Amino acid sequence: MKFKNKVVIVTGGASGIGFALCSELSKRGAKVILADIDSEGGVKGAETINKNAGLVIPVCVDATKETEITNLIRSTINEYGKLDYIFNNAGIGGDMDFRNVTIEHWKRMVDLNLWSVIYGTTAAYKVMVEQGFGHIINTASISGLIPTPAKVLYNTTKAAVISLSTTLRYEAAEFGVKVSVVCPGAVKSHIWSTPILGVRDQDDTDLIPPEAISAEKAANIILKGIVHNKEKIVFPFLMRFVFWLYRIHPSILNLPFRKIVRESLSSNK
pTM: 0.91
d(CA 11, CA 14): 8
Catalytic-residue membership of 170: no
pLDDT in tens, 96-131: 889 989 999 999 999 999 999 999 999 999 999 999
**Percent share of the chain, pLDDT over 70:** 93
Task: Read off the amino acid at residue 104.
Answer: E
Q: What is the mean pLDDT of residues 172-194?
A: 89
User: The domain at 7-237 falls in which architecture?
Assistant: 3-Layer(aba) Sandwich (3.40)
> Using only C-alpha atoms, what is the Rg of the chain?
18
d(CA 178, CA 194): 32
Q: Among 119, 125, 154, 246, which one carries the catalytic annotation? A: 154
Q: Is the pLDDT reported for residue 29 higher than 90?
A: yes
Q: 40 or 189: which carries more pLDDT confidence?
A: 40
- Confirm if 191 and 16 have CB atoms less than 8 A apart: yes
DSSP string computed for 195-220: -SSS---S--GGGS-TTPBPHHHHHH
Sheet holding 232-235, edge to edge: 56-60, 31-36, 7-11, 85-88, 134-139, 177-184, 232-235
Q: 263 or 36: which carries more pLDDT confidence?
A: 36
Q: 199 or 251: which carries more pLDDT confidence?
A: 251
176: left (phi over 0), alpha (psi -120 to 50) or beta: left
Q: What is the mean pLDDT of residues 185-190?
A: 85
pLDDT of residue 186: 86
Task: Find all residues with CB under 8 Å of 241, minimum gap 6, and list them.
Answer: none
Length of the chain: 269
pLDDT band at 202 (very low <50, low <70, confident <90, very high): very low
190: left (phi over 0), alpha (psi -120 to 50) or beta: alpha
pLDDT band at 191 (very low <50, low <70, confident <90, very high): confident
Q: What is the mean pLDDT of residues 145-173?
A: 95
CA dist 167 to 78, 232, 248, Å?
29, 12, 22
pLDDT band at 205 (very low <50, low <70, confident <90, very high): low
Q: 210 or 44: which carries more pLDDT confidence?
A: 44
DSSP H or E stretch at residue 105 = helix 103-110
Task: Find all residues with CB under 8 Å of 35, minimum gap 6, and list them.
Answer: 9, 10, 11, 12, 13, 42, 59, 60, 61, 63, 72, 90
Q: What is the mean pLDDT of residues 137-148?
A: 95
Closest to 57 measured CA to CA, from 24, 13, 2: 13
d(CA 4, CA 259): 47
